[in-house]
Structure 1
Amino acid sequence: MEKKRSAILLAQGIALAFLLIAGAGFWFYMSMDPNLAKALDKNSRTLVIANGEWVPYQGASLTEGGPMSRIVTAAFERQGWTVEYVYLPWAQGLSMTERVKTDATMLYSYNDERGKKFYYSDPVLELDTVVFYNLNKPVRWERPEDLKGLTLGGVEKYDYGFVREEDGYRIRRSSDPANNHRRLAEGRLDGAMEEVLVGMKILREENLQHRISFHPTPVKRTNYHMIISKDHPRAAEILQVFNLGLARIKEDGTFTALLEYK
């Protein structure tokens, strides 16, 4: 009987500990995932936008958040609105924006999955993704089929246009884009796919600019946008304000001036 009672008490203790841990985890999660959106107030002209690290375009360590942050801020300011940025991991920023815990997030290309959940602004930036190659083993291609049979470096979960594993292309993916350039320099890859300026910045940082170059033909040409959840009650208004401001700063030359990579 005593053993049975001890077993019951032990089970109750474990269950209580589990509930306490689960509860603490829930409240910790809630404290880390607050509702930051300010435009839910219909009179507010201040937005909280989820930003991310994408050097040299945007990032907390860049001057004024980088050129893309400066451009988005300027577009709203031209319309009399203000912007506050919160820097988050990409997945968290996207999730919080989808659930209207932030007013918007930036910058994203279009895909069908996101298109079901988000409205897209007018294009803020157009970028080319190209194939970088080792100068000792140049990559020359004209047709998509020319890249089949090569092992190409890529970033995890990134879309490379027509270069898809399911279509017979070999992509060795990494969470760190710089790893692809190191592997390329070591001869462990035939090529590495990266956006032109991002790739060139990595080459300078890794001191590989004299060992690696790129083919100018893009595997993907992409427009990038600010996006807003379709559940945001002021989504249409925010998009209209931003698109008008963006058009105006492009017309008067402000956009070009802000595009400097400091």
Structure 2
Amino acid sequence: MKAGLVVLGVVASVWMSTAHAEDITLTLQEYPPYMGDALPHKGLLTRIVVAAFAQQKITAKLVAVPNKRAIDGVRMGLYEGGFGWAKNPEREKDLIYTDPILSLSMVFCQKRGREISWKKLPDLATYRIGITSGNFYSDEFDNLVKAGVLKVDASNSDVSNLRKLNAGYIDVLPIDVEVGPYLIAQNLGEDERKNIVCPPQAYWSAPLHVVLDRKNPKSPRWATEFNIGLRRLLESGQLNTLLDQARKDINQAK
């Protein structure tokens, strides 16, 4: 009789631990090293998103899609959620946003030995600033360019701009603090890598969130569960540990 009670107790314990387990389907876009289907852990941001949901016994199932579909598909109800998006009043009509996960932090990569001292964006008025066509660099940056205060030189990719920076054709390159070093490590030769530095002084930061389909009745609860899981990772110190390991794995992969 006692043995039967023990077995029943074990079964009940297992049932209770899995009763609330469920899946959520999230879109995965390409923005290395934050996100990417071929990256270790599917990217830095992906590592945290998956772990935060897992804290609450929710399995994040990732679907790799083109970048535009990564958010439009969620807004249309084709997917339950996505991640890596900044707040936008127009998007908030269709989407529920979680608490911020990480923030993009825009810095200026420069040629080693020719570092520029600056405090505000207008301080860069006399320098050649490389930009990548189609990228957004903040409202303030765009307004200063339109006003003729900042002089920009456009290329078709960040990698092309890094090579122009190395060759001295531009003086600074605005780029995210994680993206810059990743692209340098993945695309430039050893001598080129030594010539470029990306100081951590940021001119703009943009918090990134998980977004969920507002029409889905599960979304408010999923947002709450994710926020709880994210706080648990942060308070336990696991968040930084996961990030450090993912960053190491991604930088070593080539």
Q: What is the TM-score of this pair, normalised by structure 2? A: 0.78
2:146 to 151, 156, 166: 166
Q: How many residues align?
A: 220
Find out whether 1:54 has 2:38 as its counterpart.
Answer: no
1:120 to 97, 100, 107: 97
Q: 1:49 to 1:167 in 2, by over 3 A?
A: farther
Match of 1:250 in 2: 234
- For residues 237 and 55 of structure 1, the distance between their equivalents in structure 2, rounded to whole angstroms, comes to 29
Q: Could you tell me how far 1:258 is from its partner in structure 2?
A: 1.2
Any conservation in 2 of the 1:49–1:105 contact (CA below 8 Å)? yes
SS at the partner of 1:224? Answer: strand
- For residues 112 and 141 of structure 2, the distance between their equivalents in structure 1, rounded to whole angstroms, comes to 22
Find out whether 1:195 has 2:176 as its counterpart.
Answer: yes
- For residues 189 and 117 of structure 1, the distance between their equivalents in structure 2, rounded to whole angstroms, comes to 40
Q: 1:117 to 1:155 in 2, by over 3 A?
A: farther
Write the letter of the residue equivalent to 2:198: F
**1:93-120 deviations in Å (ceiling 9; x for gaps):** 1111110111111111223443444222
Q: Could you tell me how far 1:226 is from its partner in structure 2?
A: 1.0
Any conservation in 2 of the 1:163–1:219 contact (CA below 8 Å)? no
Q: Could you tell me how far 1:84 is from its partner in structure 2?
A: 0.6
* Higher CA-based Rg: 1
1:106 to 76, 83, 91: 83
Match of 2:221 in 1: 237
**1:120-155 deviations in Å (ceiling 9; x for gaps):** 211111232111122364332112211224332233
Q: 1:167 to 1:218 in 2, by over 3 A?
A: farther
- Runs of 4+ in structure 1 over 6 Å off: none
- For residues 119 and 232 of structure 1, the distance between their equivalents in structure 2, rounded to whole angstroms, comes to 10
- For residues 216 and 151 of structure 2, the distance between their equivalents in structure 1, rounded to whole angstroms, comes to 40
SS at the partner of 1:232? Answer: coil
Q: 1:146 to 1:116 in 2, by over 3 A?
A: farther
Match of 1:228 in 2: 212
Q: 1:153 to 1:115 in 2, by over 3 A?
A: farther
Any conservation in 1 of the 2:105–2:202 contact (CA below 8 Å)? yes
Match of 2:252 in 1: none
SS at the partner of 1:240? Answer: helix
Q: Which has the higher helix share?
A: 2
- Give the aligned CA root-mean-square deviation in angstroms: 2.2
Any conservation in 2 of the 1:185–1:211 contact (CA below 8 Å)? yes
| Structure 1: 5+ residue stretches without partners | 1-42
Any conservation in 1 of the 2:180–2:198 contact (CA below 8 Å)? no
Judge which range, 247-256 or 167-176, deviates more.
Answer: 167-176
**Percentage of matched positions with identical amino acids:** 25
Any conservation in 2 of the 1:160–1:219 contact (CA below 8 Å)? no
